[in-house]
């Protein structure tokens, strides 16, 4: 293999490794805010060996789970009893320096928090914001976006229908004059597809697809053989036809007319010879 081909192979292998080994950080409970002393679990999804969880907080920078804080096991990092000092940014990182998405977690020492998605939500989805107290969900809560009052919900739950990029911002809630910390709601753009996915009724069954693939595979293997056979047979027939024509021209016996012409020529030559002798 020449060096250029080897370099291309290594490059493609690296791209495939990056695409298949890119980790994604998730958090349980799925909320950007938790109360003090509540457990928090962070997990590197789709990760391979060498990935770990790191964080930036007010007391540490790029601190590794299991070394400087928390307990790490099986791509999961657990904080058994969270503290406001655990508030900060969290992400997954490999030994090669690749990183995942970042999640911001706020640990509140107060009495009210806003449960909102820790991960970005998709355009068009419905999102529910919940105002919580340490005792129970409040019977009524006020909600704010970017410091502006947006409504009161009697059950402490506000649902944003069919969110769009305009719904992004900092949200908080208030209960009995006690406010939660602010949390950012991020909305990701919905991916566009050129073709609609096939429905269950139109999609062919797996067995039919398997038969089609087998047929195509046999055709790919068999067609070159047929073409080569046809070319060889054609060449053989052309050569045989040429040989038959040569033999027929060389071996065809004279007709009666041609035999008569030969006899007349012999008589004329005999007469000329006799006259010349006199």
- Look at residue 212 in the predicted model and tell me its pLDDT: 56
- Look at residue 135 in the predicted model and tell me its pLDDT: 82
Q: Residue 177 in contact with residue 112, Cβ under 8 Å?
A: no
Which ranges in the chain belong to alpha helices (H)? Answer: 3-20, 206-251, 256-277
The separation between the first and the last C-alpha atoms of the chain, rounded to the nearest angstrom, is 95
Residues shown for the chain: 278
Q: Residue 126 in contact with residue 136, Cβ under 8 Å?
A: no
- Look at residue 19 in the predicted model and tell me its pLDDT: 42
Q: Rounded to whole angstroms, how far apart are CA atoms 13 and 99?
A: 19
Digit-by-digit pLDDT tens for the chain (278 residues) are 555 554 554 444 444 444 445 899 999 999 999 999 999 999 999 988 899 999 999 999 999 999 999 999 989 999 999 999 999 999 999 999 999 999 999 999 999 999 999 999 999 999 999 999 988 778 899 999 999 999 999 999 999 999 999 999 999 999 999 999 999 999 999 887 655 555 554 444 544 555 555 566 556 555 665 576 667 667 767 776 665 554 444 444 554 444 544 454 454 344 434 444 43
Which letter does DSSP use for residue 253 in this model?
Answer: P
**Domain limits of the chain?**
24-109, 110-190
Q: What share of the chain is helix, strand, coil (3-state, %, to 5)?
A: 35, 30, 35
Among 112, 115, 145, smallest CA distance to 130 is for: 115
Handedness of CA 159, 182, 45, 192 (dihedral sign): positive
What is the fold, at CATH topology level, of the domain defined by 24-109? Answer: Immunoglobulin-like (2.60.40)
Superfamily of domain 110-190: Immunoglobulins (2.60.40.10)
- Look at residue 195 in the predicted model and tell me its pLDDT: 54
Q: Rounded to whole angstroms, how far apart are CA atoms 1 and 148?
A: 66
Q: Rounded to whole angstroms, how far apart are CA atoms 81 and 213?
A: 55
Q: Rounded to whole angstroms, how far apart are CA atoms 196 and 198?
A: 6
pTM check: above 0.75: no
Q: Rounded to whole angstroms, how far apart are CA atoms 139 and 132?
A: 10
Q: Rounded to whole angstroms, how far apart are CA atoms 235 and 224?
A: 17
Which letter does DSSP use for residue 166 in this model?
Answer: G
Common-topology check for domains 24-109 and 110-190: yes
- Look at residue 197 in the predicted model and tell me its pLDDT: 56
- Look at residue 244 in the predicted model and tell me its pLDDT: 53
User: In three state form, how does the secondary structure of 29-78 look?
Assistant: CCCCEEECCCCEEEEEECCCCCCEEEEEECCCCCEEECCCECEEECCEEE
What are the backbone dihedrals phi and psi of residue 212, each rounded to the nearest 5 degrees, phi first? -65, -45
Q: Rounded to whole angstroms, how far apart are CA atoms 99 and 195?
A: 32
- Look at residue 164 in the predicted model and tell me its pLDDT: 96
Q: How far is CA 114 from CA 35, 76, 79, 160, 172, in A?
A: 10, 25, 20, 14, 6
């Amino acid at each position: 293999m020449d060096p250029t081909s080897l370099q291309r192979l290594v490059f493609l292998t690296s791209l495939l490794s990056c695409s298949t080994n890119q980790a994604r950080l998730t958090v349980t409970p799925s909320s950007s805010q938790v109360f003090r002393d509540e457990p928090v679990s962070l997990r590197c999804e789709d990760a391979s060996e060498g990935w770990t969880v790191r964080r930036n907080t007010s007391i540490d920078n790029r601190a590794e789970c299991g070394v400087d804080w928390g307990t790490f096991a099986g791509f999961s990092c657990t904080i058994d009893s969270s503290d406001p000092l655990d508030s900060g940014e969290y992400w997954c990182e490999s030994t090669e320096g690749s990183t995942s998405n970042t999640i911001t977690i706020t640990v509140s020492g107060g009495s009210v928090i806003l449960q909102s998605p820790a991960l970005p939500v998709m355009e068009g989805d419905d999102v529910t914001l919940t105002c919580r107290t340490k005792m129970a969900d409040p019977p009524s809560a006020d909600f704010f976006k970017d410091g502006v009052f947006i409504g009161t919900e009697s059950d402490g739950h506000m649902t944003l229908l069919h969110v769009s990029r305009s719904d992004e911002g900092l949200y908080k809630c208030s209960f009995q004059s006690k406010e939660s910390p602010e949390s950012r709601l991020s909305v990701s753009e919905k991916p566009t597809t050129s073709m609609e996915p096939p429905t269950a009724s139109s999609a062919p069954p797996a067995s039919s697809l398997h038969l089609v693939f087998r047929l195509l595979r046999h055709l790919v293997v068999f067609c070159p053989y047929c073409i080569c056979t046809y070319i060889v047979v054609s060449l053989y027939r052309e050569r045989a036809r040429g040989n038959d024509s040569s033999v027929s021209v060389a071996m065809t016996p004279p007709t009666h007319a041609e035999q008569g012409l030969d006899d007349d020529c012999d008589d004329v030559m005999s007469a000329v010879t006799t006259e010349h002798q006199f």
